[in-house]
Structures are given as C-alpha cells and as structure tokens.
Amino acid sequence: MFYVTTPIYYPNAPPHLGHAYTTIYADVLARYHRLIGDDTFFMTGNDEHGLKLQRAAEKKGIHPQQLVDEMEKIYRNYWRMLDISYDHFIRTTHDYHMEVVKHAISKLYDKGLIYKASYAGWYCADCEKYYSPGEYVEIDGKPYCPIHRKPLEFLEEETYYFKLSEFEDYMIKLLSGKDIVYPRSYALEVLNKIKAEGLRDVSIARPKERVWWGVEVPFDKNYTVYVWFDALLNYISGIGYLRDMERFNKYWSSVHHVIGKDILWFHTAIWFSVLKALEIEPPRKLIVHAFLLNRGLKMGKSAGNVIPIEALVERYHGSDGVRYILMRIFNHTKDVPVSNQLFDNIYNSELADNYGNLVRRIGVLVLKKLKGEVSGEDIDEELSRSITSTVEKYNKAMENYDVSTAINTVAELLRKANAYINNVKPWEKQEPRREMYSLIETLYAATTMLHPIIPGATSRVFKAFNTDLVNPKEIQPGMNDYYHVSEAPILFKKVKTR
Ligand code: MSP
C-alpha cells in the first residue's frame, strides 16, 4: 500500500516550475511504487477557498467559483503535459470535502477545543497566515512577509481559536520520537521552535464580512472556516473519510505527504494536532524538500521570477527532459538555483548523450550486425556485476525517497555501458553476439529503472526492443533471453546551449 499526496495548490495563477518540482517528485514515487506492485493512490489538487482566491477573483471581476472552475482545467492540462499519473484530483469546493470540514470543526467544537476571542495581528494573504513579531521582517519600520517580501496587513477581529497549545506535549513527544518527518532536520527545526516559543492557539475562522469565500462554520453562520484548516483536511476527505471508512483506513496507514519547506509548520504543528484531535493516526511520512531559486530568490509569482512550465517542455522536446532535469537536481535540504546552462548541460550530456545516444547506437548495431535479433549469451562479467549493484543501490535510494541518488546510480551504469561499447568496438566485429547481448541487457535494466522518471522515452525503448517492464526489484543480469529490435529510436534531440 502506498498513498502519496502533493500539497493542494492555490489556483490564483497557473502552476510554475516550483509546483512542477513537487508534483513530478510525487509522481515518480507513485510510479515506482506501482512498479514494485504496491496498491498505490496518488492525489493532487487545488486549494480553492480563502482570501487569496476571493481577491484574485475580485481582481478579475468574476465569481471565485468561476475562477476555480477555469483553473482546474488549466492545472489538469499542465499535469497532463508533464505526464503526471494522479489517481484523483481533489478540489476543496467538492461537496464531500466540505462535509468533512464541517464535521471536523464541529467535532473539535464539541470536544471543547474551540473558543471565541478577539485577535489582532499582522497578516499575509499570500501565505494566508498571521506573522508575529520576530517572524516578520521590518523594512522602514513596517512589517513585511518574510517569504513574499510584501507589506503585511493589520487585522483585528473576533474569531474562533483552536486550542493548539493543548497539543504541545504531544507534538514534542511525536517529533522527538517517531521518524515521521524526512529529512529529520526539519523535525528538529519545528521542535526547536515549539520549545522556544511554545505552541500558541491559532485562529481557525474568519468573519464572513471579510472572507466570505469559504466553508461556513456550522455553529456560527457569520464565519467561514480558515483556509488552512479547510485545506489540510483534503488528505483525509480525498480517500473517503466519513463516506467510506474502510477505504480511508486502508490508504491512511501508508500516507506520504510531499511538501515544500515553506509549509512545514502547517503540516506538523497544526496538522498533526488536528489529526490527534480527530483521533486519527499521524501520517506515515512527511517528505519535505527545499526551494528552486531563480535570480537568488525562491521562485514564485510574487517575486516575479517564475519559469513557465511550457517554456521548458518546449525547449526539451516534451515532458521527459523536464522531469529528468528536475529530479536530477532534486534536493531535500538545499535550495537549488536554476539556470539555463545547468539545465542544458544535464539534458545534453546525460539524457541525449549518456542514455539517448547509447539507445540509438545499440539499436543501430543490432539491426545492422544481427538483423535485429539478440539472444541470451554470457554477459560480460563487469557489466553483470554493475547491473546487480546498481539495482540494489537504486531500489535502496528509491525506498529512501532519494530520487536524485537513484538517478545518479543509473547514470553511472550507463557510463559504464558507454565505456564498454567504445572499448570492445562491436562495429569492427562480424557478429558481436556476446557484446550486444551484454549491452542490451544493461540498457534494459537502466531503462526499467528510469521508467518512473522518464516514462515516455523508456516506453519507446521497450517498444523498439519488443520487451516490457518488470518490477525494478527483480531486475538481474540475464533477465530476457531474447530481444527482437525493430527500431533504433532517437530519443532526445540535443539543444544548442545559449
Ligand atoms: N495551498 C497551500 C498548500 C495547502 S496543502 C494542504 C499552498 N499552495 S501553493 O500554491 O502556494 O503551493 C506551495 C507548494 O508549491 C510548496 O510547498 C512547494 O511544494 C511548491 N513550490 C512553490 N514554489 C516553489 C519553489 N520555488 N521551489 C520548490 N517548490 C515550490 O501553499
């Protein structure tokens, strides 16, 4: 069983490369787990309520519902463009989701975990979050959002609070004990914050006169539910919480949330406490990654430095190039600056040369020298050993959520195959049977392992070699005792470096 989620995105604008970074990563995990035979459920979707969306619609002069309906199509199109194999696209305006939100907030209310009081503080509508002194940055004596670098708004209102403070001991115990957060450094970061500042109660509702675009609070119709409380519940509503508890229990036990580090606090302090209050187990894993930077800043709409997804899909002739590049640079703890040069380099040297060109050369040689037929022989010993050790390292890395290491191990195997072909020079031999079998077996193993990352290109290779996927855990040298090669595809056209 493997249930994996992305954050649900604010559809006030189309997704950019930063959102693609998270979504492709989750997709790779989902595809890998399907291949190893796990019953897999992969969910992404949109976070459609709240002030940010209300304002975005206002600015366009349309109803928020119309905006989020239009944006759903746009998001789905982008995910199709990138070969994202989600099983469900969740929207927080779905009825079944809103039922869960109402149920959850009522349950907390009935348990005495919600109370009314007034609140005054500095708010960032882009984050949908209050910032306290010490958290915001000051520019010319005025408070600014540390993430968006925009002035904060001062808000003062009567609101409902969730007694987060009651969960302080629970959170400290949870974060210091169980290995939920990956990498662990993020758990320690949250732990230190809680130890330093304590867990403060959080406002969980908004007066309707200010934020009317949201789920109505069941026990007070003058309020809507705070968008973050609404949004986090998608992870349980999307797999049938309340409606189909059997299905919910089945998937929840294996839930893996993938998030960027910007929303770590919500996904630990708040989410784990809400789950506890609802008497639901904490997630199995919270997998956190760092940012893509552009011109020194986190890529984002407000910073004005986004790279559109379609620009890269076009440049690298489809989704595989973009997927490979982003997963190759994927980093859990370090922010990665993007650059054309870096992207072109990875694409040209690793995808086009190391992999694509090898596929082409092997295909052409088998067609020319062996009439397209390769049958089982003794495999070159060194390549055979490399296949075995790569498979082991690759699976270990994938199980540790370390996709970039998994890619690097496969790239290393491909480099060995390239060295081998240059060394044994099969084109100088009459019938290089053993050489070509050794090469095609190595390529078969590499192609299988790369499949979750570049599903399009690898599928073309399987088709050209008239063979099919296997469970990557079961790959071993000598997998197939016969290949019929019908084509030598050119997978990746090189790009001219700018
Ligand atoms: N709607 C909330 C999440 C609710 S989840 C219950 C939200 N949405 S968002 O549209 O702002 O998306 C945030 C996520 O997008 C980040 O956590 C991260 O996964 C991804 N990224 C957005 N910009 C990014 C970068 N520049 N770099 C890496 N990831 C980025 O927050």
Catalytic residue among 103, 107, 150, 301: 301
Minimal-distance CA residue to ligand 1 atom 19: 260
Handedness of CA 280, 289, 73, 209 (dihedral sign): positive
Whether 226 lines ligand 1, by a CB cut-off of 6 Å, is no
Distance (Å, whole) CA 155 – CA 135: 16
- CATH classification of 340-484 is 1.20.120.1200, yes or no? no
Whether 21 lines ligand 1, by a CB cut-off of 6 Å, is yes
- Cis geometry, peptide bond prior to residue 183 (ω within 30 degrees of 0): yes
- Whether 301 is catalytic: yes
Cα 286–86–289 angle (5° rounding)?
30
> What's the full length of the chain, in residues?
498
Whether 335 lines ligand 1, by a CB cut-off of 6 Å, is no
Pairing relationship of beta strands 255-260 and 2-5 according to DSSP bridges: parallel
What's the pLDDT tens digit per position in 169-206? Answer: 999 999 999 799 999 999 999 999 999 999 999 999 99
Minimal-distance CA residue to ligand 1 atom 17: 260
Tell which atom from ligand 1 comes closest to the C-alpha of 15.
10
- 129 Cα–ligand 1 center, Å: 14
- Whether 124 is catalytic: yes
Residue 292, classed as helix, strand or coil, is strand
Whether 128 lines ligand 1, by a CB cut-off of 6 Å, is no
DSSP-assigned beta bridge partners for residue 119: 157
- 68 Cα–ligand 1 center, Å: 17
- Whether 368 is catalytic: no
- 6 Cα–ligand 1 center, Å: 9
* Three-class secondary structure assignment of 241-264: CCCCHHHHHHHHCCEEEEEEHHHH
Handedness of CA 435, 436, 441, 443 (dihedral sign): positive
Strand order in the sheet with 88-91: 88-91, 40-46, 2-5, 255-260, 285-289, 181-182
450 φ/ψ angles, rounded to the nearest 5 degrees? -80, -10
All residues at 6 or more sequence positions from 323 whose CB lies less than 8 Å from its CB, including other chains: 24, 28, 82, 83, 453, 454
- Residue from 5, 6, 10 whose mutation best tests the ligand 1 pocket (most atoms within 8 A of CB): 10
What's the pLDDT tens digit per position in 440-457? Answer: 999 999 999 999 999 999
List, in sequence order, the alpha helices (H) in 355-432.
358-370, 381-399, 403-424
Pairing relationship of beta strands 223-225 and 205-207 according to DSSP bridges: antiparallel
Kindly state the tokens that stand for 152: 């904060």
Minimal-distance CA residue to ligand 1 atom 26: 299
Tell which atom from ligand 1 comes closest to the C-alpha of 22.
19
Whether 260 lines ligand 1, by a CB cut-off of 6 Å, is yes
Spell out the domain ranges in the chain. Answer: 340-484
Q: What is the pTM of this model?
A: 0.96
- Whether 298 is catalytic: yes
Distance (Å, whole) CA 394 – CA 122: 47
Q: Please give the average pLDDT of every successive group of 10 residues along the chain, which has 498 residues.
A: 98 98 99 98 98 97 98 98 98 98 98 94 90 89 90 93 98 93 97 94 95 98 98 98 98 98 97 98 98 95 93 97 98 97 97 98 98 94 98 98 98 98 97 97 98 98 97 96 97 92
- Whether 267 is catalytic: no
* DSSP state at residue 122: E
- 408 Cα–ligand 1 center, Å: 26
Distance (Å, whole) CA 470 – CA 35: 7
Q: Tell me how far CA of residue 162 lies from CA of 128, 167, 170, 194, in angstroms.
A: 16, 11, 15, 16
What's the pLDDT tens digit per position in 2-60? Answer: 999 999 999 999 999 999 999 999 999 999 999 999 999 999 999 999 999 999 999 99
Minimal-distance CA residue to ligand 1 atom 15: 19
Whether 292 lines ligand 1, by a CB cut-off of 6 Å, is yes
pLDDT at 178: 76
Distance (Å, whole) CA 40 – CA 89: 15
- Whether 88 is catalytic: no
DSSP states of 316-342 as a string? TTSHHHHHHHHHHS--SSS-EE--HHH
Kindly state the tokens that stand for 6: 């992305």
